[in-house]
Structure 1
């Protein structure tokens, strides 16, 4: 399984970077996990819009789904007429982003397949398990399995035993780590620090930890140091363009 980071910025994209987006490839199947602000241009450096086979969106905040709109425009208006793109999301999560264009303009480009947190999805070579994490809006963490390997991705969310259970023995955990260690009181319980991500990675026994969704301006080394207080295996910070072979 090959993971390409399209973006790892939290909240808004910094210069030259993008918000949350990950391309997962296995046996020629291309799956997108989230597609936030500015992630589409990164994707198009790797593959054409019509070559994406499926999308899973963790939740409806725009730093995780805003670039669905230009992706669907490229598929609907680009002259290639690809099959309907299956977009898997929690109920109602995509209402805002899918209403940006006039009614019917993009309807031949996609099909929304809603799921409930806790459901198991299957498409292409992938099996995807889901779990609800605490956030301001419903957010589904996902565990993607294929070819004997597995990757767990948190989307956004506060620390939860449900994430530890979902991620147990994953080869890679892609974990939201908005702050290195000190959480603003208003965010506690709804977001995760790098320190907390390291604790959960260690408890789950994952193989590698990839920190993502860092607040703009955060020192990546500070995030790695905070996570490394608990997690002793490989830690990296998600930066657009990097790839991970799982």
Structure 2
């Protein structure tokens, strides 16, 4: 399993960045996780729109899903027919994005497979488990398992006991870390800090930690330092182009 970061900025994309977006590959099967703002052009640096085999979406905020629209448009206008794209998302999460175009325009480009966070399913060679995690709208933490390797991804979440189960012994723990040390009071139930991500990674025994969803203006070095205060494994920040294998140690 190979993870390539397309973007990892929280909220909105700044110059030269993109919001949440992750390409996960195994044996030629490509899964796109959370196609947020500005991730589609980044995706095209790695593969064609027609080469994506499935899309997984943690929740319906636009910085996690809005670039599903250009992905589906590109497939709709492809010169050669492209099969419908399986798109997995919590119920109702994509209603706004799928309503951006005229009725029926994209109907043949995707097959919506809604799932309740907390359930399990398969896509291609990947076994996927999900957890309901606290956010302003239902958010699914996602754990992908294939060939003995595990990638765990939080989406956006506040503190939850379920995070330890999600990240347990993960080869890569891709964790929302909007702020280095402290989450503002109005968001403390719904977002996480890099320090919290490091503590979760340590408790869960994750082998490596990738911090993502850093809010614009956040110092990546400060986020890494905060996470490393409670976690002695490898820590990096999700920036476009970061690629790493998720393999059994």
Matches within 5 A, 1:131-170: 131-170=131-170
Q: Equivalent residue of 2:43, what SS?
A: helix
Aligned-partner Cα distance in 1 for 2:78–2:165 = 42
In the other structure, the counterpart of 1:194 is 194
Runs of 4+ in 1 over 4 A off after TM superposition: none
Matches within 5 A, 1:45-124: 45-124=45-124
The unaligned stretches of length 5 or more in structure 1 are none
Aligned-partner Cα distance in 1 for 2:22–2:230 = 25
TM-score normalised by L of structure 1: 0.99
Equivalent pairs counted in the alignment come to 246
In the other structure, the counterpart of 1:41 is 41
In the other structure, the counterpart of 2:217 is 217
Q: CA deviation at 1:78?
A: 2.1
TM-score normalised by L of structure 2: 0.98
Deviations 1:23-74 (A, max 9, x none): 0000110001100000000000000000000000000000000100000000
Q: Equivalent residue of 1:210, what SS?
A: strand
Aligned-partner Cα distance in 2 for 1:64–1:150 = 21
Matches within 5 A, 1:168-207: 168-207=168-207
Aligned-partner Cα distance in 1 for 2:136–2:154 = 14
Q: Equivalent residue of 1:196, what SS?
A: helix
Deviations 1:84-136 (A, max 9, x none): 00000000000000000011000010010000111111121100000011000
Q: Equivalent residue of 2:4, what SS?
A: strand
Q: Equivalent residue of 1:15, what SS?
A: coil
The unaligned stretches of length 5 or more in structure 2 are none
